[in-house]
Amino acid sequence: MLELRPNCECCDKDLPPESTEARICTYECTFCADCVDEVLKGVCPNCGGNLVARPIRPAAMLAKNPASTKRVLKAEGCAPKAA
């Protein structure tokens, strides 16, 4: 089950469960669409994988399976992973 992390790891923008701006990689690293497009160029800085739109969990299911409240922020900043 996806964690649905609450923020962008780069800029700390809030990304609530219903956000269409959230992007994730296969490890659920979470970023906003602006950081993915402008800074990361579609590549996860943690694993080097691609970043895609995060699915939206229906509101009725959030009561049973709530989104994570743990914020993750890259202290060293965000830059694409070196090839």
Which amino acid, residue 10? Answer: C
Residues whose CB is less than 8 angstroms from the CB of residue 6 and which lie 6 or more positions away in sequence, other chains included: 14, 15, 16, 67, 68, 69, 70, 71
The model's pLDDT over 63-76, given as tens digits with 9 standing for 90+, comes to 999 999 999 998 88
pTM for the model: 0.89
Number of domains within the chain: 1
Mean pLDDT over residues 4-13, rounded? Answer: 97
The model's pLDDT over 20-52, given as tens digits with 9 standing for 90+, comes to 999 999 999 999 999 999 999 999 999 999 999
CATH number of the domain bearing residue 52? 3.30.40
- Among candidates 76, 70, 2, which has minimal Cα distance to 53? 2
Whether residue 74 lies inside any domain: the answer is no
Containing structural domain, residue 47: 1-57
